[in-house]
Structure 1
Amino acid sequence: MSPRPDFPAAPDWLRNARVSVAFLDQPPGPADFEGLVRADIRLEAGRIAAVAPAGTAPAEGAADLDGGQVWPGFVDGHKHLDKGHIWPRMRNPTGDFFGAMNAVTSDRGARWSAEDVRARFEFGLRCAEAHGTVALRTHIDTYYPQGPTSWAVFRELRDAWAGRIDIQASSIAPLDRFQGEEGDRIADMVAESGGVLGMVTRLQGGLHDALPPDFQAMLDHFFSLAEARGLEIDLHVDESGDTGARALREIALTTVRRGFKNRVQCGHCCSLSLQPEEFARETVAACADAGLSIIVLPMCNMYLQDRVAGRTPRWRGVTLVHELRAAGVRVSVASDNCRDPFYAYGDHDMLEVFRESARILHLDHPFADWPGAATRFPAEALGLPERGRIAPGLPADLVVFRGRGMTELLSRPQSDRVVLRGGRVLEAELPDWRELDAVLGVAEA
């Protein structure tokens, strides 16, 4: 992205700024009705030196934001960089979950060489960096024999991008693939790669529906794989509108019963919003008791869920974010899939994710601390204490917007945003889609 021409390359101060209370440990002044505080931010040696009351900063050496907002660098806690951008060569013919699953399976088996995965994975990283993301977790399809290739690409790019984006990875495969020798192989590879153990709470070839009779035994075995290797857990849970999909409650109860000490994040949890009220309340309480983190993917799930040809969708495909948050559960939003059969759109832009989340999930009236769902909350869920906040001593990795109030911020793409890394303007540009034409073997018309 091209920074504004009047913006200093390395400002000493960000003057006359607005900052959400979601990002501040100690607000330097009162918040307005949208949860925004007027502030001046001092930058020194690549870090935040002070968050001061508005009017503190001198004019010289400062970037005057004229009331524009400052956000910490985004944290995208749930992505699929290994399957990203394959849409031009492998579309989803039906637009639903089953069509997406079959299309990705076909593409993965035929085309996912190291070169192919690397090119698409790094394209996604370049988009995310230019938009202001500083940390992310990507899920990696972990099916043999292809899985080890993608994990090798992850390790290579994680190291190559160190200092630009903090990259974590989690495995993803159906629950029954973790039983027996294959489960040990996956868990060992994840541990050796410094990853997170992840799976989906459905069986191979199936959808998220009624739990099979041996679900609890398989879930306990999965937890034992993580426990034996000291791994965190990240799960794709109940991604359907089938009220028989009730894995979330069992995961929470299992976490407590086993005394599992590492972080557990659960994504999607769509069917919870369609459950009977009593069961939904019980599940929300269990999640709070277990200390689970919930991450929701509203753009992707609105695209996939309740899709029937010739029929208007009747529900939004998302989970009970307000009820979970009210119970004390940490709730994040993330981009999920990007230009692949699970979601045909997207650009790895967490501002777009938050903008659409605010509309889809009603994260407004008031906004309160909901901006933390794209920054602070995922940073906490991923164990990144220096991310997601604006406070003295933290890295000056920030995103500066012209938008002042939240309706200004969320009504335009903010394409003139300025991304600061280490207090300096980042010169990264969004890559052109045409760079992928040769990799994909097709040019999108």
Structure 2
Amino acid sequence: MLSGAFPPAGPVHLANATVPSALTAGMLNHLGEGLGRADIVIDQGEIASISPPGIAAPEGATRVDLDGGLVLPGLVDLHTHLDKGHIWPRRPNPDGTFASALEAAQADRVAHWSADDLRRRMSFALQCAHAHGTVAMRTHLDTIPPHDTITWDVFTELRRDWADRVDLQGSALFGIERLADPAYLPRIADRVAACGGTLGVVSYMVDGLDGYLRQMFRAAAERGLDLDFHVDETGDPGADSLRRIAETALETGFSGRIVCGHCCSLARQDADTVDRTLDLVARAGIGVVSLPMCNMFLMDREPGRTPRWRGVTLLHEMRARGIPVAVASDNTRDPFYAYGDLDMIEVFTQAMRILHLDMPVGDWVRLVTTTPADLMGDPTRGRIDVGLPADLVLLRARDWNELGARPSGPRTVLRAGRAIARALPDYRDLDDLMEHDR
């Protein structure tokens, strides 16, 4: 693929590119499965033109024949946990269960989350995401005193330092039962507002849940914040906070964006319950993000027993109702998910398999491009269009089948039309942080 010195001065003509029609305002769709062939001209860091192949390149443009290779826009990761990332070597999950993950992450936060520890691990993760082609990311940040101040200060610093590479949004994360303390939410919501973030929470099925949800909606509305909930991350069919969130959104007339992540228990509920819940979610305009790799790792795990279900939510049924849906990385090398590298190509191709997003793949690529960008409030990301920055991922794979079969195949990441160096950081760079508990 292209070198880090690409391109030379002047415009560049990417010839014979294969481009998803869904990401080009429907301009192209003549190869099947939502793909079309095009020539793309890049000039002064922006996409100058998109045209049918074979049209003469501008005078002086450097021509690069992609030989049918897929071109995607910079990718958008809607749900991550940068603050927890890469602690697995010092704090593994002893049995792989959700309960053990909670305990391990809490113990690690108390023992190790200094500003230096957070900054280095989060920077490492961002280097990975950038190298893989991610241009925008929302990260949930444990907002639990006394570490919340350290975490948000480090995040604010990194958001500034990475502004020309990855657009970062922060979302508060804490168990909703903490709202029993009336002083807790105003302080957290003010901090989130000061950082331009999103107000988030884990909506466990606790006594007083409906009242706590109303507090969240009220605090967000008063500050003009969007909402992002961790919802029903369990196989218990009795967990129905997704329905309650939708009802609260409708009751309050909330006008901001709402995202609900996980929603695993929905797949365990009866058809009538599912229909009623999804109708409410659609009416409330809620977006849903599924985390297929993490939830396959966590859900339905019992020692010595093969899991019986996949842990993912009902994306096909949601999309059929017009509900915005996305997939994202979630956790990376921590007690909630031992693997992952913040690679949205991996996330998308794994989702293709896990959620049966094939036959045909069609426009499911929106899951990691336009839809999460819209839910983050950025209608310029996740698209290939004239006048937008030439932040692109050039793949050797020519179609969805080749991409799904070899997601780790060659790729070039362009930022403002220039190929970035894609060297991934070495895990050894974090070894000294892991020595505490070895």
* TM-score (structure 1 length as normaliser): 0.94
- Could you tell me which residue of structure 2 aligns to residue 283 of structure 1? 277
- Could you tell me which residue of structure 1 aligns to residue 190 of structure 2? 188
Farther off after superposition, 360-369 or 31-40: 31-40
1:238–1:247 contact (8 Å) kept in structure 2: yes
Note the alpha carbon deviations across 1:274-306, whole angstroms, 9 max, x for none.
Answer: 111001011111111111110010000000000
Farther off after superposition, 425-434 or 324-333: 425-434
| Displacement of 1:120 | 0.3
- Could you tell me which residue of structure 1 aligns to residue 266 of structure 2? 272
1:19–1:36 contact (8 Å) kept in structure 2: yes
Q: Which amino acid in the other structure matches residue 291 of structure 2?
A: L
Report the aligned-residue RMSD: 1.7
1:403–1:414 contact (8 Å) kept in structure 2: no
**Distance (whole Å) between structure 2 residues aligned to residue 26 and residue 360 of structure 1:** 27
Q: Which amino acid in the other structure matches residue 78 of structure 1?
A: H
Structure 1: which 5+ residue stretches go unaligned? 203-210
SS in 2 for 1:171: strand
1:15–1:54 contact (8 Å) kept in structure 2: yes
**Distance (whole Å) between structure 2 residues aligned to residue 134 and residue 77 of structure 1:** 11
Q: Which amino acid in the other structure matches residue 189 of structure 2?
A: A
Structure 2: which 5+ residue stretches go unaligned? none
1:175–1:199 contact (8 Å) kept in structure 2: yes
- Could you tell me which residue of structure 1 aligns to residue 361 of structure 2? 367
1:270–1:317 contact (8 Å) kept in structure 2: yes
SS in 1 for 2:139: strand
| Displacement of 1:3 | 4.1
Note the alpha carbon deviations across 1:349-382, whole angstroms, 9 max, x for none.
Answer: 0000001000000111111110010111100010
Q: CA, structure 1 residues 443+100, in 2 after alignment: closer, same or farther (shift >3 Å)?
A: closer
Ranges of 4+ aligned residues in structure 1 off by more than 3 Å: 2-11, 57-60
| TM alignment of 1:147-162, pairs within 5 A | 147-162=148-163
1:72–1:390 contact (8 Å) kept in structure 2: yes
- Could you tell me which residue of structure 2 aligns to residue 42 of structure 1? 41
2:177–2:206 contact (8 Å) kept in structure 1: no
| Displacement of 1:22 | 2.2
Q: Which amino acid in the other structure matches residue 131 of structure 1?
A: H
Residue 435 (structure 1) aligned with residue 429 (structure 2) = yes
Q: Which amino acid in the other structure matches residue 164 of structure 2?
A: G
Q: Which amino acid in the other structure matches residue 150 of structure 1?
A: T
1:402–1:414 contact (8 Å) kept in structure 2: no
Q: Which amino acid in the other structure matches residue 32 of structure 2?
A: F
Q: Which amino acid in the other structure matches residue 98 of structure 2?
A: F
**Distance (whole Å) between structure 1 residues aligned to residue 67 and residue 54 of structure 2:** 12
| Displacement of 1:428 | 3.9
- Could you tell me which residue of structure 2 aligns to residue 177 of structure 1? 178
**Distance (whole Å) between structure 1 residues aligned to residue 405 and residue 297 of structure 2:** 21
- Could you tell me which residue of structure 2 aligns to residue 51 of structure 1? 50
Residue 30 (structure 1) aligned with residue 23 (structure 2) = no
SS in 1 for 2:107: helix
Q: Which amino acid in the other structure matches residue 388 of structure 2?
A: L
| Displacement of 1:57 | 4.4
- Could you tell me which residue of structure 2 aligns to residue 197 of structure 1? 199
Residue 63 (structure 1) aligned with residue 67 (structure 2) = no
- Could you tell me which residue of structure 2 aligns to residue 208 of structure 1? none
Note the alpha carbon deviations across 1:162-217, whole angstroms, 9 max, x for none.
Answer: 11110000000011213411122111111122111000011xxxxxxxx3342111
| TM alignment of 1:214-225, pairs within 5 A | 214-225=208-219
| TM alignment of 1:197-276, pairs within 5 A | 197-202=199-204, 211-276=205-270
Query: Which of 337, 342, 348 is the equivalent residue of 1:354?
Result: 348
| TM alignment of 1:376-387, pairs within 5 A | 376-387=370-381
SS in 2 for 1:283: helix
| Displacement of 1:430 | 0.8
| Displacement of 1:26 | 3.6
SS in 2 for 1:404: coil
- Could you tell me which residue of structure 2 aligns to residue 127 of structure 1? 128
**Distance (whole Å) between structure 1 residues aligned to residue 396 and residue 54 of structure 2:** 19
| Displacement of 1:62 | 1.5
| Displacement of 1:410 | 1.6
**Distance (whole Å) between structure 1 residues aligned to residue 378 and residue 288 of structure 2:** 16
Aligned-pair identity in percent equals 51
**Distance (whole Å) between structure 2 residues aligned to residue 57 and residue 365 of structure 1:** 35
**Distance (whole Å) between structure 2 residues aligned to residue 443 and residue 185 of structure 1:** 34
**Distance (whole Å) between structure 2 residues aligned to residue 32 and residue 282 of structure 1:** 38
1:335–1:350 contact (8 Å) kept in structure 2: yes
**Distance (whole Å) between structure 2 residues aligned to residue 171 and residue 440 of structure 1:** 26
1:14–1:40 contact (8 Å) kept in structure 2: yes
Q: Which amino acid in the other structure matches residue 15 of structure 2?
A: R
**Distance (whole Å) between structure 2 residues aligned to residue 357 and residue 239 of structure 1:** 18
Query: Which of 281, 305, 315 is the equivalent residue of 1:311?
Result: 305
Instruction: Number of aligned residue pairs: give it.
Output: 434
Q: Which amino acid in the other structure matches residue 17 of structure 1?
A: A
Note the alpha carbon deviations across 1:24-49, whole angstroms, 9 max, x for none.
Answer: 1041x433232110111111111111
